[in-house]
Amino acid sequence: MGHNIIIGRSESDKISFSDRGLIFLGRGYVKMGQYTSLSNNFFMDVARSHVVLVAGKRGAGKSYTLGVIAEELSNLPKSTSQNIASLIFDTMGIYWTMKYKNEKDRDLLHEWNLKGKTLPVKIFVPHGYYEKYLEKGISIDEKFALDPSELKTEDWIISFGLDITDPVSILIERSMAEIREKNFFGIQDIIDKINEDKKSLQEIKNGAIGLFEAAKTWGIFADAKKGATKIEDLVSGGKTTVLDLSVYNSVGAFNVRALVIGLLSRKIFNQRMDARREEEIKSVAKGLDLMAEEEKRDYPLVWIFIDECLAGNTEIITDKAHTPIQEIVNRFKKGEKFNVLGYDKKENKYGYHPVLNVYRKGKRKVIKVTTETGREITCTPEHRVLTSKGCFASAFSVNDIAFPLTQHYSTDNKLVEARILGHLFGDGWVSNKTKSLGFSGKSNKEDLEKIRTDLSKLGFKSTNIYERKTVSEINHKGKKVVVKGTSQSFQSTGAYKYFKEKAGFYGEKALHPTKIPDSIFNATDKEKSEFLAALMGSDGQIITRANNAKGDFNAIRISFNKIETLEKESFEFAEQIKKLFEDLGIKISQISKKEGNLRKDGNKTIKIVITLKKDIQNTISFLKRIGYRYCSYKELEGLKWLEYLKTRLFLRKEREKIKIRALELKSKGLGKTKISRELNFPESQIRDWIYNKHSPGLPKSFPSFSKWTNDRIKNDILFERIFKIEEAGKEEVYDISIDNVHNFVSNGLITHNCHEFLPKEGKTAATEALIQLLREGRQPGLSLVLATQQPGQIHRDVMTQSDIVISHRVTSAPDLEALNQIMQSYLLESIKQYMDELPSLRGSAIILDDNSERIYPMKIRPRFTWHGGEAPTAVRAEKKL
């Protein structure tokens, strides 16, 4: 083989097999001075079983590399290929193009002394979607269906996102145990068996039935035994089978793909174990190593490739506005790009991430989930949401749901202007002397960074944030108080002229009259809200707990100081602020004057205090419609109080409904005991309502603000308890897939669109089967080729069991560290060093070969067949003549 480099083959096998059982991957890079060129051919062993990990960030070439390996397996000489079958679990719908010759890269193939060709490829699609594929003109061959009677109870529980101790899980386990006696049973048989159960409450039965009704719509389960696809049909020597699972590329459907991969992997493993025993018997009889023979096997060795829903009115938080998911889907399909709010669990922070794709899922059975705050979301039963257990689970099965305690800052220019103006009227200033705007904060640098970001969005530059220690002397009622602190501020000269005209003031605000600009009075409600929120972030008081009762709170106030001679103008300004609040439906109880301070220049000041009406509905309206901006502490406390007060109000209203129902039942002649049973409510409470005429307030056991928040909030995430879940008929449902964090905030809650089958933490329906293949697959002759964007987040067994790693460019520290750990026992160099030295050409990668304990830089060869995974472009490439 001369200068060829062979990956994954031992020295003894090199002697035994010579050049047989090798596939061509590409060529190595060699550096000569400042130049890098292609040199040695790289081949990979396929005579033995391997675990191959293909890593790389999005667009680096992972899917392309998987395609190259699959092509080479089908392109082997018949004597070898007849004993090897490839099965690709296609999660993105890109490998059906392998049926076609690669015409577009004819020149590139020629440079490599290669030619495009067609290869024996068979495309399977879920039987429920077969006709839709044909309508789209996609070349497919066979329908695929699972036998539901082959699934374990645990498969269903994991797929539905249930906890094993959940009453619905217990019911499913009991029903499955009873139905196992049948040779075949379908989804409807399981539903009928659940209906027959005598031990569970009807609501538990309804819950389980709802999940299996949803499973019916997946289009993946056979209705009869003969309709189920056999393993022999999927794995055939010398052929590549593509199982297209891309129709399940969404939040709720993630479990379907894991279910399919898990069941088939388990069946293939069991079949190959049985076949291996028969092969060993023959091997012993012949005195040979059958693994090295080239006669046709009854069951080929298998290479398995694994490449990595909401209702229409559900609101998604984008970087510009709250937008219905249906609108995002429609606009995305017309070419518009979106960044949506998601939660990064590793960093414990929120950020905006690009939408990769959108999906119309058709009409589906949906449920309405109501939380303790009265928040509602309509979704499919299997829709995955973040829970306090730190994992994503089916919306139907959870006891609480995660909601982010974060404020959305719109990037709409008019709203940004209104926010900045609000801050200028509070903690900002306009200086004619320096021809600049000034902005100061309250000891949190991130707050000022938000203002700098807003100015930048409007095209204005600003200085860095300056921090200094301050000492101030305040003379209040003849008493001098020294206040020490830290001052943070920055300035912008570019924005001076623009905002000076809009603000209508300059100099020290305490010494000059100020008026709300007409542009704000004539603005939209949202602009008024942003203006007031920034003003409250500067001069507003945060809501605090009252001392007289554990659930009570103090009134919210905003105040400002003016010199005494401006008293008339001060009250006029206060009335203007009041008018803005009232325009937004927020009531003001009073405007009052208090004694201020004695300034160093000898002027006395007065303090004008504006007090918001103190009732729960008015306070909720303020916190919901306005709140605070540019002050993180006030923002967070305001959000906590908002959810707490919403919970108090919602519970009180629900108890009022129960009281009304109790009185209706009393009018029909029922007594307190029967009413209590009918309504499933304490008899003592019913008695107080119908006989003693007590009002339905909150129970004494309702927690205080501090206890309620301590029990529910972690890392600025509120885990709201579920109040009720009910069926909501059928609706058009939609989904979106998100880059990096694989979740997004919808109707306030954090939902998931993850498609990892072997996560570092947690478990999917595919996890156990794939771990078995990783640990034991080599023995029966099974190989795995796995692709991932994030090697740092994949199951530890993938990293420890992979004997060949092909890594395209990765940049994040956790991913580089994970790759470093694979090679740390025999290589001292850093993966990052090799990555940095790779040419920035498509197909560039490094190979870690555990067998030779070497690392090589290389370029993957061009494809024989058409590659369907290339990212779309906005312009067409020029064609060579």
**What residues have CB less than 8 Å from 876, skipping those under 6 apart?**
none
Of the residues 704, 724, 752, the one at which a domain ends: 752
Q: How far apart are CA 558 and CA 551, in angstroms?
A: 22
In a domain, 94, yes or no: yes
Inter-axis angle of helices 632-667 and 705-712, nearest 10: 100
Exposed e or buried b for every residue in 755-780, given b needs 16+ CB within 10 A? bbbbbbeeebbbbbbbbbbbeebbeb
CA-nearest of 456, 580, 461 to 530 is 580
CATH number for 343: 2.170.16.10
- 764 and 799 both lie in a single domain: yes
Q: Does 457 lie in the same domain as 385?
A: no
CA distance 390 to 402: 9
58 in Cβ contact with 307 (< 8 Å): no
Query: Is 212 part of a structural domain of the chain?
Result: yes
One domain, residues 241 and 100: yes
Residue 135 Ramachandran class (φ > 0 left, ψ -120 to 50 alpha, else beta): alpha
> Which residues touch 698 (CB under 8 Å, ≥6 apart)?
551, 648, 651, 652, 655
Instruction: Residue count of the chain, please give it.
Output: 881
Beta strands in 495-587 (DSSP E): 557-563
One DSSP character per residue, 762-804 reads S--TTHHHHHHHHHHTTTTTEEEEEEES-GGGB-HHHHHH-SE
* Boundary residue ending a domain (226, 251, 267): 226
Please tell me the distance from the alpha carbon of residue 819 to that of residue 810, in angstroms, as a whole number: 10
Partner residues linked to 28 by β-bridges? 858
The H or E element spanning position 672 is: helix 672-679
In angstroms, rounded to a whole number, what is the distance separating the alpha carbons of residues 33 and 560?
69
Question: In the beta sheet, which residues pair with residue 733?
Answer: 311, 362
Please report the pLDDT score of residue 661 as a whole number: 92
Q: Is 21 left (phi over 0), alpha (psi -120 to 50) or beta?
A: left
Mark the ranges of the chain whose per-residue pLDDT is less than 50.
1-2, 251-252, 290-292, 309-310, 753-755, 828, 871-881
For residues 111 and 245, membership in a common domain is answered with yes
Helices (H) and strands (E) in the chain, counts: 27, 33
Residue 154 located in a structural domain: no
In a domain, 597, yes or no: yes
Please count the structural domains in the chain.
5
Alpha helices, DSSP H, located in 458-547: 496-503, 518-521, 525-539
Flag whether 614 is in a domain: yes
- The token pair at 71 is 């092509």
Provide the angle, in degrees to the nearest 10, between the axes of the packed helices 167-179 and 187-196.
110
How far apart CA 633 and CA 63 sit, in angstroms, is 46
Domain boundary pick from 589, 611, 630: 630
Same domain, 654 and 618: no
State the pLDDT at residue 225: 67
Q: Same domain for 417 and 554?
A: yes
Judge contact between 370 and 725, C-beta under 8 A: yes
Residue 93 and residue 110 in contact, taking contact as beta carbons nearer than 8 Å: no
Instruction: Give the model's pLDDT for residue 881.
Output: 27
Same domain, 242 and 220: no
> Based on the domain organization, do 116 and 186 belong to the same domain?
no
Could you tell me which residues are beta bridge partners of residue 235? none
Q: What is the CATH number of the domain that holds 782?
A: 3.40.50.300
172: nearest Cα among 211, 116, 146: 211
Q: Whole-angstrom Cα distance, residue 242 to residue 250?
A: 20
CA distance linking residue 109 with residue 749, whole number of Å = 49
- Residue 745: the pLDDT is 65
Q: 632-667 and 683-690 are packed helices; what angle lies between their axes, rounded to 10 degrees?
A: 70
| Whether 209 and 179 share a structural domain | yes
The first and second tokens of residue 265, run together, are: 């992997």
Residue 702 sits in the same domain as residue 721: no
Please state, in angstroms and as integers, the Cα–Cα distance from residue 520 to each residue in 252, 536, 540, following that order.
44, 16, 19
Would you tell me how many other CB atoms lie within 10 Å of the CB of residue 77? 10
Instruction: Verify that 286 and 350 share a domain, yes or no.
Output: no
Q: What is the pLDDT of residue 461?
A: 93
Q: What is the DSSP string of 221-245?
A: B-SSGGGSPPHHHH--TT-EEEEE-
> Is 454 within a domain?
yes
Distant-in-sequence, close-in-space partners of 857: CB < 8 Å, separation ≥ 6: 28, 29, 834, 837, 838, 844, 845, 846
Are residues 94 and 48 located together in one domain of the fold?
yes
CB 811 within 8 A of CB 826: no
Pairwise CA distance, residues 371 & 46, whole Å:
54
Q: Which two tokens stand for residue 582?
A: 């009232």
Tell whether 873 is covered by a domain.
no
What pTM was computed for the model?
A: 0.59
Tell whether 23 is covered by a domain: yes
Residue 652: what pLDDT? 92
Residue range of the domain that includes 173: 163-226
CB count in 10 Å sphere of residue 681: 17
